[in-house]
Amino acid sequence: MIEDVHLLCRRDDISILSSLEKFLSWAKSEGYKIVVVTNQTVVSRGLLSYKEMNELNQFILDSVESLAGKKLFDGLYICPHHPEATLKDYRIDCECRKPKPGMLLKAAKELNLDLSKSFFIGDRLSDVIAGNLAGVRTILLEGKFSESTLIKSSLKIEEKDKLPWKRASSFVEIIKTLEAL
């Protein structure tokens, strides 16, 4: 949703990706539910409290909605864990951290989503894998991290799980892809 900033901690560093609000407005008008699924290590590193990190994420969602001029989001799922976290409370090899599909499966259950009719868009390999393992069609938004390697995980991953359903270079292209279905 935003330009990638390593360990985002400040509102001033937030830069929303071009045409994101256009794409989400389109998706909403098509009847899609919109859910945000994010790994956040700033908490496990002790850089922000959980409350501060949550507020920062909510601020991003509010900013996108204000650009669109309407309510867009149906859910926000955050994994604050890390297997090598600085803070002991968050140092677990959890089921929610992407590339594991835990947050997507939880969202599907809580919001009654049909995963086979859903799409998951992300800019990293961990997003593609999480989407594939959850059984949704994945779209890799190409950017500086889309070819990056995986962070450490206990998850066993097959080569086929690393392949996105489609690749796109912009949100405008994603609209075209989904409209053509």
Residue closer to Zn ion (CB basis): 130 or 178? 130
Q: How far is the CB of 81 from Zn ion (least distance, A)?
A: 3
Q: How far apart are the first and last CA of the chain?
A: 23
- In this complex, which beta carbon is closest to Zn ion, that of residue 22 or of residue 106? 106
For residue 11, give the amino acid letter: R
**Shorter beta-carbon distance to Zn ion: residue 43 or 79:** 79
Least distance in Å: CB of 125 to Zn ion?
Answer: 18
Is 132 in a helix, a strand, or coil?
helix
**Cβ at position 103, least distance to Zn ion in Å:** 8
Cα–Cα distance, 6 to 4 (Å, whole number): 6
Nearer to Zn ion by Cβ, of 81 and 137: the residue is 81
CB-CB contact of 143 with 4 (8 Å): yes
Rounded to a whole number of angstroms, the minimum distance from the CB of residue 99 to Zn ion is 12
Nearest to 157 by CA among 130, 118, 135, 122: 130
- Which among 19, 68, 12, 27 is positioned nearest to 171, based on CA atoms? 19
Nearer to Zn ion, 25 or 39 (CB): 39
Q: Considering the complex, what minimum distance in angstroms separates the CB of residue 154 from Zn ion?
A: 12
Q: Interface with Zn ion by CB under 5 A: which residues? A: 79, 81, 94, 96-97
Residue closer to Zn ion (CB basis): 53 or 174 = 53
- As given in the structure block, the two tokens for residue 180 are 């053509």
Residue 83 beta carbon to Zn ion: minimum distance, rounded to whole angstroms: 10
